[in-house]
Amino acid sequence: MAKKQKVQFRIQRFNPDIDDEPTYVTFKVPYSDRQGVLDALHYIFQNLDSTLAYRWNCRTGQCGSCAIDINGIPGLACRTVVDPSKQYTLEPLFNFPIIRDLVVDLGPGFRRLEKLRPYLERTSAPDRPEKLTREEISAAMELRSCIECFSCYAACPAVASAKQEFPGPIAMRELASFEFDPRDQGDRVQLAVTSGLYDCTSCGICKEVCIPKHIDTRRTAVEGLRALAVERGMGPLEGHQGFIKQIESTGYAVDVKSTPLTDQLPDVIDVDDPVDEVLFYPGCLINLRIQQVGLNVVEVLKRNKVRVHIPKDFVCCTSVAFRTGARAIASEMVIQNTDYFRKLGVNKVVGLCPGCMSTIKQDWPIILHEKDKPPYDFEPFDINEYLVDQLGFERFNQQDLKPLPIRVVYHDPCHLNRHQGISEEPRKLLRMIPKIEFIDVEDSDRCCGAGGGVRAGRRELSQEIARIKYEILSEVKPDVIATSCSFCFIQLVDVVKNSNSDIRVMNITDLLAASYRGESLK
C-alpha angle with apex 511: 505 to 512, nearest 5 degrees?
160
Shared domain check, 117 and 68 = no
Domain end position, chosen among 231, 264, 292: 231
At which of 334, 359, 391 does a domain end?
391
DSSP reduced 3-state for 337: helix
The reply to whether 400 falls in a domain is no
- CA-based angle 346:482:519, to the nearest 5? 85
One domain, residues 79 and 30: yes
8-state DSSP, 16: T
Same domain? For 485 and 372 the reply is no
Paired with 27 in beta bridges are: 9
Strands 67-70 and 88-91: antiparallel
Q: What number of other Cβ atoms are within 10 A of residue 28's Cβ? A: 11
Task: Report d(CA 260, CA 242) in Å as an integer.
Answer: 20
Angle (CA) 491-155-214 rounded to 5° is 110
User: pLDDT 10s per residue in the chain (522 long)?
Assistant: 456 899 999 999 999 999 999 999 999 999 999 999 999 999 999 999 999 999 999 999 999 999 999 999 999 999 999 999 999 999 999 999 999 999 999 999 999 999 999 999 988 888 888 888 888 888 888 899 999 999 999 999 999 998 768 999 999 999 999 999 999 999 999 999 999 999 999 999 999 999 989 999 999 999 999 999 999 999 999 999 999 999 999 999 999 889 999 999 999 999 999 999 999 999 999 999 999 999 999 999 999 999 999 999 999 999 999 999 999 899 999 999 999 999 999 999 999 999 999 999 999 999 999 999 999 999 999 999 999 999 999 999 999 999 999 999 999 999 999 999 999 999 999 999 999 999 999 999 999 999 999 999 999 999 999 999 999 999 999 999 999 999 999 999 999 999 999 999 999 999 999 999 999 887
Domain contains 337: yes
Judgement on whether residues 255 and 180 belong to the same structural domain of the protein: no
Q: Based on DSSP, count helices (H) and strands (E) in the chain, helices before strands.
A: 24, 16
129 within a domain of the structure (yes/no): no
Question: Do 243 and 387 share a domain, yes or no?
Answer: yes
Is 15 part of any domain? yes
Is residue 300 domain-shared with residue 366, that is, in the same domain? yes
Range of the domain at 303: 239-391
Does 187 share its domain with 271? no
**Are residues 413 and 360 part of one domain?**
no
Query: Within this chain, do residues 174 and 276 fall inside the same structural domain, yes or no?
Result: no
Residues 210 and 350 in one domain: no
Q: Which of 212, 231, 250 is the last residue of a domain?
A: 231
Whether residues 243 and 224 fall in one domain: no
Closest CA to 77 of 49, 51, 57, 105: 57
What is the domain count for the chain? 4
Judge whether 441 lies within some domain: yes
401, part of any domain: no
Torsion on CA atoms 383, 389, 394, 396, rounded to nearest 10: 0
Assign 407 to helix, strand or coil.
strand
Whole-model pTM: value is: 0.94
Residue 47 CA to residue 67 CA, distance in Å, equals: 22
**Strand ranges for 357-436 from DSSP E:** 379-382, 407-410
**Could you tell me the CA-to-CA distances from 222 to 144, 200, 216, 299, 370 in Å, in that order?**
15, 8, 9, 39, 20
Beta-strand runs (E) in 411-498:
437-439, 480-483
Residue 95's CATH number: 3.10.20.30
The CATH number that applies at residue 505 is: 3.40.50.1860
Q: Contact, 511 vs 430, CB < 8 A?
A: yes
* 17 inside domain: yes
Nearest to 176 by CA among 144, 211, 207, 201: 144
Q: Are residues 98 and 10 in the same domain?
A: yes
Read off the CATH number of the domain in which 114 is found.
Answer: 1.10.1060.10
Cα(151)–Cα(205) distance, rounded to whole angstroms?
A: 10
Does 61 fall in a domain?
A: yes
| Alpha carbon of residue 253 to chain centroid | 21
User: Among residues 15, 16, 42, 12, which one has the least CA distance to residue 29?
Assistant: 42
